[in-house]
Structure 1
Amino acid sequence: MVAWRKALQRLDGAFSDHTLRSYRSGFEAFSQWCRRRRKTALPAAPETVAEYIEEEAGRLKPATLKQRLCAIRKIHRLCEHQDPTDDENVELAMRRARRSQAARPKQALGLTANLRDELLLACSDDLIGLRDKVMVSVGFDTLCRRGELVAISVEDLTAKGQGRYSVLVRRAKNDLEGAGRISHLSTQSSRLVDQWLAAIGAQSGPLLRPVYCRKALALYLEPLTVSRVLKKLAARADVEPELVQKVSGHSLRVGAAQQLTLDGRGILQIMRVGGWRSMNVVARYVENMDIDVWN
C-alpha cells in the first residue's frame, strides 16, 4: 500500500493541499474497510466498491461517498489500474445512497451586517481580539471561503485612495488556473488591517496569524480556525445556542451574499463579487432570507 502514497506525491503542486488531503484520507478509509473484510483495495474490483458504497451509505452522507469515489478513482489512475468506479453497479449504489438520504443541503448561518457587527463588538481588546476583528471584517468584505481567507498575505493588499485597500484573492476552488479576483475592503476593514499590521510589525507574510504568548507568529492559520473563531464570537455575542451551531467558516460568505441581496444588488453583481460561476449556488444562499424584506 506504500505504492499509492508514493504515486499521490506526483500531484504535488498540481492540486491544492486540501484536495490532496481529501484523496489521501478518502482512499485510506476505503483501504481500511477492505482490510477488515479481506478484500483487495488496489486494484479494487467494481463489486468491492459497490459493496463499500452500499454498506457505508447508512453512515456517511452522499457528498462524503462521492468524495471517497473521487479518491478511489484518482489513486487507481495514478497507479495505472482500471478505474473501478466507472461501472454501472457503482453508479446504481450511489443512486440508492442519494435516494435513501434525500434531503436539502444544510446551510451555514449567514452572518449579515448586523450579526457581523455583533461579532466585532464581542472581540476582546487584546492582540487576539484585533486579529479576530480583521478576520471577521475582511472575510465579510471579500466573501472569501475560509481557505481563501487564511491564505491572504500582506503582499496581496494594495493601497487605494482614502486609506482603503483592495485585496487579491489569489486562488479559489473553482479557479484552477489561479487567475484570482480583486476584492475591495471597506474603510472600517482597512483601518483594522492597519491597526493589526502596526501591532504585529508585519510588512510581508500571512495577514492572519496565530497568536501565542501575546505574539503573532509568521504562520498561516489553518482554515478550521475560521470556524472556531466565528463560533467563539457568536457564543460570546449571546447568539442563540441553536444558531451558534449553524455558524461555520462559510457563514461570512453566505451572510455577505445575503446582505448584498438586501442592499438591492443583482445576482450577477453578487456572482462577480464572490467569484461564483454558478447562479444556482448563489440562489441557495439567499433563498432562506425572510420574505418580509421585500415588503
Structure 2
Amino acid sequence: MDNHFFLRDFSRNSQSEGLSDKSMNSLSVTKANHTIDAYESDWNDFCDWCRYHHQTSYPAQPETIVNYINDLADYAKASTIRRRISAISENYNASGDHVENPCRAWIVKEALIGLTRLKGTVQKGKTPIYWEEIEEMIHRMDLTSLQALRDRAVLLLGFMGAFRRSELAGLDVEDIRKYPQGIVVTIRHSKTDQTSAGQQIGIPYLSHSSMDCIHALQEWLTAAGITSGPLFRSFLKNGKVSSRRLSDKSINLIVKKYAASIGLNPEMYGAHSLRHGFATYAALQGVEERLIMKQTRHRSVEMVRRYINEADLFTNNPIDKIFNQPK
C-alpha cells in the first residue's frame, strides 16, 4: 500500500496466521465501514501533514506525532485531536509489521494531557466574513482609487476561490484563463499539493457587475497596467504600482482594514476569514458538502463539517422555525 493504510486489510496482520477464515471474517467486521472511512480520512490528513513538513508518516517518530498534535491545536477541538491520534494508533496496530507504534510513547500521552491543561479549549480560527459584509465593505470603498480597486479584487477573489492567503499572494496573471462562463484559476503551489501538480478553481460570472469577481479583477489589472507576472502587487511611496508581489501578511492586513471599516473588531478577522466565510456561507445556502470541498480543496472532511455545523446553528434553529415562517 502506497499510503500505508492497513485497517481495511486485516489479512496483512502477521499475528493472524493461526486464525481460521471464520475468525478472520469476524475480526474484519469489528469496525463499521463509516468508522474505517473516518479513520482513513484522519490517516490521510496525517500523511498530508507529514509530506508538507518533510516527515515520514510510516514509520513515524513520537516527536512527529507531538508536532502534529500542536499544529492541529491551531484549529481543531480536543476531541478531534484525540480521534486523529487514535486513528493513527489503530492503523499502526493493524499493520502487522514489527514497527513500534509511536502513539504509545510517553511524550505523546503527555502532549495530549499538557495541551488540554494549558489551553483548556483549542483556539478558534478567524471569524468568517459573509457575503453581505463584503458587499458593505465594497460599498464603502472609493473605487476611483487604484488601491481600492486592488483591494476589492483581493476580497472578492479570496472569497469566491476560498483561497488560503499564501495561495492568493502567489497568483500570477498567467494563472488565470478566461472562458465564456467565467475564469479558471490555477494554483501552482498549495499546502495540499506538495507535488505541484496544480489545482484548478472555477469562478463563474455574476449578474451584478459591482460584486462580480471577474469584472473587479479585470478593472484592477487594466487600471494598474498589469499584463503578466504577480497578480496582486504593493505600491511605491509615490503611489505607483510596484513590480513586487503583495505578501500574504499584507493580504491579512487588507482584510483587517476593511473589517474595521464596517465596524467589526479587526482582531477577530484575517485573510482566513474569506475562506472560512465562503465555506460557512455556502453551507448556510444549503450547498452540499461535496461541492464545498471541491471549491475549498479540503482533503479532509473534518474542517468542512465544522463550517457546516456553524451554519447549522441558524439553518436548523427552532427559533427560526417558530417565528420566521411565512404566514
Q: TM-score range by the shorter chain?
A: 0.5 to 0.7
Aligned Cα RMSD in Å? 2.9
Give, in whole Å, the separation in 2 of the partners of 1:206 and 1:97.
43
Give the match for residue 174 of structure 2: 155
Partner of 1:193: 217
Taking the TM superposition and a 5 Å limit, the aligned residue runs for 1:113-262 are 113-125=131-143, 126-161=145-180, 164-187=182-205, 188-212=212-236, 213-239=238-264, 241=265, 244-262=266-284
Deviation at residue 262 of structure 1 after TM alignment: 1.9
The one-letter code of the counterpart of 1:219 is R
**What do the CA deviations read for 1:150-171 (whole angstroms, capped 9, x no partner)?**
1111001101116x32211222
Unpaired segments ≥5 residues, structure 2: 1-51, 56-61, 75-101, 206-211, 322-327
Corresponding residue for residue 113 of structure 2: 96
1:105 matches 2:129: no
Aligned equivalents of 1:138 and 1:176: distance in 2? 23
Q: Residue 128 of structure 1: SS of its match in structure 2?
A: helix
Tell me if structure 2 keeps the 8 A contact 1:141–1:184: no
CA contact (8 A) 2:283 2:311 kept: no
Please report how far the alpha carbon of residue 289 of structure 1 lies from its aligned counterpart in structure 2 after TM superposition. 2.8
CA contact (8 A) 2:279 2:307 kept: yes
Check conservation: 2:172, 2:231, Cα contact below 8 A.
yes
In structure 2, the CA distance between the partners of 1:86 and 1:261, relative to structure 1 (3 Å rule), is closer
Cα contact 1:143–1:252 (8 A) shared by 2:
yes
C-alpha distance in structure 2 between counterparts of 1:237 and 1:114, whole Å: 11
How far apart are the structure 1 equivalents of 2:73 and 2:288? 35
Q: Which amino acid is the alignment partner of residue 245 of structure 1?
A: E
Seen in structure 2, the aligned counterparts of structure 1 residues 222 and 261 have a Cα distance that, compared at 3 Å, is same
Question: Displacement of 1:286 after TM fit?
Answer: 2.9
Query: Which deviates more, 131-140 or 174-183?
Result: 174-183
Q: Deviation per CA, 1:2-41, whole angstroms, max 9, x where unpaired? A: xxxxxxxxxxxxxxxxx79xx9xxxxxxxxxxxxxxxxxx
**Gap change, CA 1:220 and 1:168, over 3 Å in 2:** same
Q: How far apart are the structure 1 equivalents of 2:140 and 2:252?
A: 16
Report the Cα offset of residue 65 of structure 1. Answer: 9.4
* Structure 1 residue 291: Cα displacement: 2.6
Distance 1:264 1:160, change over 3 A: same
Is 1:275 paired with 2:297?
Answer: yes
Contact 2:103 2:109 in 1 (8 A): no
Residues 156 and 266 of structure 1, relative CA distance in 2, 3 Å threshold: same
Instruction: Say if 1:123 and 1:132, in contact at 8 Å, map to a contact too.
Output: no
Residue 266 (1) aligns with residue 285 (2): no
- How many residues are matched? 220
What is the rounded CA distance, in whole Å, between the counterparts of 1:199 and 1:65 in structure 2? Answer: 43
Rg bigger for which structure? 2
Question: CA, structure 1 residues 64+256, in 2 after alignment: closer, same or farther (shift >3 Å)?
Answer: closer
CA distance, structure 1, for counterparts of residue 103 and residue 298 of structure 2:
30
CA distance in 2, matches of 1:231, 1:161: 34
TM-score (norm 2): 0.61
Alpha-carbon distance, 1:272 to partner? 1.0
> Which residue type is aligned with residue 206 of structure 1?
P
Q: Report the Cα distance in structure 1 between the residues aligned to 2:296 and 2:234, rounded to whole angstroms.
A: 26
Q: Does the 8 Å contact 2:201/2:295 carry over to 1?
A: yes
The answer to whether the 8 A contact 2:193-2:199 is kept is no
The change in CA–CA distance for 1:292 and 1:86 in structure 2 (over 3 A counts) is closer
Deviation digits for residues 196-228 of structure 1, max 9, x if unmatched? 111111111011110222211122121111111
Partners of 2:114 and 2:73 lie apart in 1 by 9
